[in-house]
Amino acid sequence: MTLTWLPMRWMIPLLMLGTAAFSSVAFYFYETHQSIRAFEHSKKEDVFRDLFRAASFAEYMLLRQDTAAVTAELSGLATEEGLGALVLVAPDHKVLYASRVAWLDEAVDSIDEDLRSLTLSTPQRMQGHAHFSEDRNSLYVHFPVRFQGDESDIRPMNYGSLVARYDLHPTKQQIYHDVEARLRLFIGLFSLISIFIWLLSHYALTKRVQRIVRSAEAFASGDLQARSALTGMDELGRISDAFDQMADQIQTSIRQQAKLVSAIETMVECVFITDVNGNIEYVNPAFTKVTGYSAAEAVGKNPRFLKSGEHPPEFYQAFWSRLLSGSVWSGQMTDRRKNGDLYYVRSSVVPVTDEKGVISHYVAVQEDITEQLAKDEKLTHAMKMESLGTLVGGIAHEFNNMLAGMVGNLYIARQRAAGKDDVIESIDRIEKLGYRAAEMIKQLLAFSRQGSSEFTSLDLTSFMHETIKLIHVSVPESVELSLDLSDEALVINGDKTQIHQILMNLLANARDAVVDIEKPCISIQLQQIQTDAELRKEHPDAVDSYAMLCVSDNGHGIEEKNISRIFEPFYTTRSVGEGTGLGLSMVFGAVEQHNGFIKLDSTVSQGSSFKLYFPLVDENPHEVDDKQEFSLGYGEKILIADDELAVRETLGEVLVDAGYQIQLAVDGAEAVEYFSADPESFHAVVLDMVMPRLGGVAAAEQMRRIRQDIAVIFQTGYDHDQMTSVSAAVADAIVLNKPVDPSKMLKIIATVVASGK
């Protein structure tokens, strides 16, 4: 039996008290019984002896008839302890002596019943005897006393009796009382010892054990600081030491573990741990974020619920054979989110072995690279466009110059072949082809953004209202053109020319798409869009509001496999000669240049809709001054350098007409020569950037060394980007893209001349 149902500090004293109580009861019964018996025995003896003496004396005196002596003797017993009554009865039943005067000389009838019956009883033997009453509270003593008989009697045979009754009750009560007093002492002593033991165990044992218990409980319920910190060399002190050391170690390892757990929990990569059978035991929050499955949904399942179906069975065979061999698997895989979307991960799966070297778990770490891939793709696309643009721009520039020469020569050839109709016919055909080439080059230039782009605050609404009037004619009458244009002013930072081209391209595509359609319909829509959560999800860096231009048709739509490629340059579904494959590329590039984006919805045989989003700006639209206002010169001298004769001379004529003086140079070197001969005579220089012998920029730098404040205007057939290589000396030069509108050129020259630079 284990005594564990009470704390020790109670158990020990209570056991002691219990023992004390039990032994007290036993002691009480034993001791009272023994004491009472001993008392009865000794009382009986004493009383018997006293009465024996009294009876002997009485008998002796009675034979001498000296009753006075008998009375004197017996009255000596009157004060004896416990004596209830003492009676001497003569043979004639007359009371000779009684402890009660009232009974004296009376018949025996007058005395107490118990005594009377005793005196009347005839003892079998004439000898004294003592006996107890039934309740043993009274002791009776009876002695036969011989009296003097008749004188004739030889031997006196008359017997009276001496009877006495002793009351034992008070003495017995005293005995009980004494035993109880001893018992009280005994119990008191035990109680004191118990209290002492309780105190001892409380301070030496229980209190200290409790401290250990409390700290252990506190530790178990999460208080890692809990320590018992008992002092002392006893066993409890050593237990406390051991516990505290253990707690230290556990705390350290729990902290370590917590660090690892929090690292895993806060990781951006998904981490999940499976058992050896592949059932998931743990997933981190990133897992839920990436896959959409909560921990509760994932735990206990095999990760194959993420399978996308994009990988062949051989992929998984290789995957498992690598893992089962104990090696780490790393690679890229495609999985499926809870919402059904595919996602791409770069994953590592590590088999974890137990102490015996047997694989017990697998830990998988997956990095979601879906966005990264999309970005990479975009970047690749952009780079492709960039290099293509450069290539195409370069080619187009050269071709343009060549075509200009060709067309000029064709003009001379036609003059010289007058009358030779067959030759003229060939020349016409060549010329036609030349124009087609020129048209194509124009498109190529547009694609490569080598056309001039001028961004201004543009009210797209009024612009659309204007433009629609012009482009309406490009849509056949058989096609229904529905317009839904906002009335509000939608101001964007835009280039009119590019937007015009965008619209033309989209309309051309739409128009082609609705050929053969029963009720062809093209709709153009312009409205303001506030960026909502969905839009922001797709374009995280979207601004708050956009102007949305939508061109849609009910044509035959675009097949899904082609959707991802339609913005690629030179990609076309039309037959050779019908399209350049640059239209949508141009649209894509232009929209990007406007910091916007395109959303395409298309369903085969139902139609397509291109939604173009242009960020709105909080500016007033730039008022376009339609009035041609030429700024005129007053004999100021302008130095012009261009290796193209046509360009050089045309600009010269325009400036002369406007009232300027001019000096023409064929390249940068000649320009520097003219300038250094008389630098102060020039008010501004206009330089082509790319020229043989000495380029425009180098020439400008040399001129600035001669005269620091000379105003410089560059003309270029390339993009602004080329200016990145321009040195600080000419950083303030104005750069204009070719071809330059003569009126714009005049305005700029007027401005710089007026400002003295």
Partner 1 sequence: MNLKLLWSFLLLLIAGCTPAPVEPVRLGTNVWAGYEPLYLARSLGWLDEPNVKLVEFTSTTSVLRAMRDHTLEVAAMTLDEALLLYQDDPNIRIVLVMDESSGADAILARSGIGSLQELKGKRVAAETTALGAYMISRAMDVGQLQPGDLTIISIPANEHTAAYKSGSVDAVVTFEPVKSELKRAGAQVIFDSARIPSEVVDVLVVHDNVLESNRDRLEQLIAAWFRALDYLTEHPNDAAKRMQPRLKLSVKEVLAQYEGLRLPDLNENLAVLSGGNESRLFESSQKMAEMMINKRLIHKFPENDIMDASLLHAMETTR
Residues 89-118 that bind partner 1 (CB under 8 A): 99-106, 110
Binding of partner 1 by 10 (CB under 8 A):
yes
For residues 689 and 696, the answer to whether their CB atoms sit within 8 Å is: yes
Span from 13-21, 262-270, 475-483, 605-613 in contact with partner 1 (CB under 8 A): 13-21
Q: Does 207 bind partner 1 (CB under 8 A)?
A: no
The answer to the question of residue 170 lying near partner 1 (CB under 8 A) is yes
Q: From CA 48, how far away is CA 116, in angstroms rounded?
A: 19
Q: Can you tell me the distance from the alpha carbon of 358 to that of 351, in angstroms, rounded to the nearest whole number? A: 9
DSSP labels for 385-416?
HHHHHHHHHHHHHHHHHHHHHHHHHHHHHHHH
Please pick, from the candidates 171, 457, 493, 523, the single residue that binds partner 1 as defined by CB under 8 A.
171
| Min separation Cβ 69 and partner 1, Å | 10
Q: Is 17 in the site for partner 1 (CB under 8 A)?
A: yes
d(CA 246, CA 224) in angstroms, rounded, equals 11
List residues bridging with 524 in a β-sheet: 483, 551
421-447 helix and 370-416 helix, angle to the nearest 10 degrees:
160
> At closest approach, how far in Å is the CB of 79 from partner 1?
4
Q: Which stretch binds partner 1 (CB under 8 A): 66-74, 323-331, 362-370, 463-471?
A: 66-74
Is 75 a binder of partner 1 (CB under 8 A)? yes
Q: Which two tokens stand for residue 462?
A: 């009024």
What contacts 558, CB < 8 A, 6 or more positions away? Answer: 566, 600, 602, 604, 608
By CB under 8 A, is residue 191 in contact with partner 1? yes
Supply the minimum distance, in Å, between the C-beta of residue 161 and partner 1: 20
Q: Which of 19, 65, 121, 174 is in the footprint of partner 1 by CB under 8 A?
A: 174
List CB contacts of 281: < 8 A, sequence separation 6 or more.
273, 274, 275, 299, 361
Residue among 3, 78, 213, 656 that touches partner 1 (CB under 8 A): 78
Footprint (CB under 8 A) of partner 1, residues 633-662? none
Q: How far is the CB of 188 from partner 1 (least distance, A)?
A: 8
Report how far Cα 582 is from the mean position of its chain's Cα atoms. 49
Give the residue among 438, 444, 426 at the shortest CA–CA distance from 401: 438
Angle at CA 720, nearest 5°, toward 717 and 724? 125
Stretch that binds partner 1, among 180-188, 295-303, 333-341, 560-568 (CB under 8 A): 180-188
The only residue of 26, 38, 63, 72 in contact with partner 1, by rule CB under 8 A: 72
Write b or e for each residue in 687-713: b if 16 or more Cβ atoms lie within 10 A of its Cβ, otherwise e: bbbbbeebbbbbbbbbbbeeeeebbbb
Whichever of 96 and 710 has its CB closer to partner 1, that residue is 96
CB of 220 to partner 1, least distance (A): 28
Residues 305-324 that bind partner 1 (CB under 8 A): none
Q: Single out the residue of 52, 176, 305, 455 in contact with partner 1 (rule: CB under 8 A).
A: 176
SS3 at position 494: strand
Output the smallest distance, CB 100 to partner 1, in A: 6
Distance CA(253)–CA(547), nearest Å, equals: 59
Per rule CB under 8 A, count of chain residues that contact partner 1: 33
The piece of 50-58, 87-95, 116-124, 162-170 that touches partner 1 (CB under 8 A) is: 162-170
Site residues for partner 1 per CB under 8 A: 10, 14, 17, 21, 68, 71-72, 75-76, 78-80, 99-106, 110, 167, 169-171, 173-174, 176-177, 180, 184, 187, 191
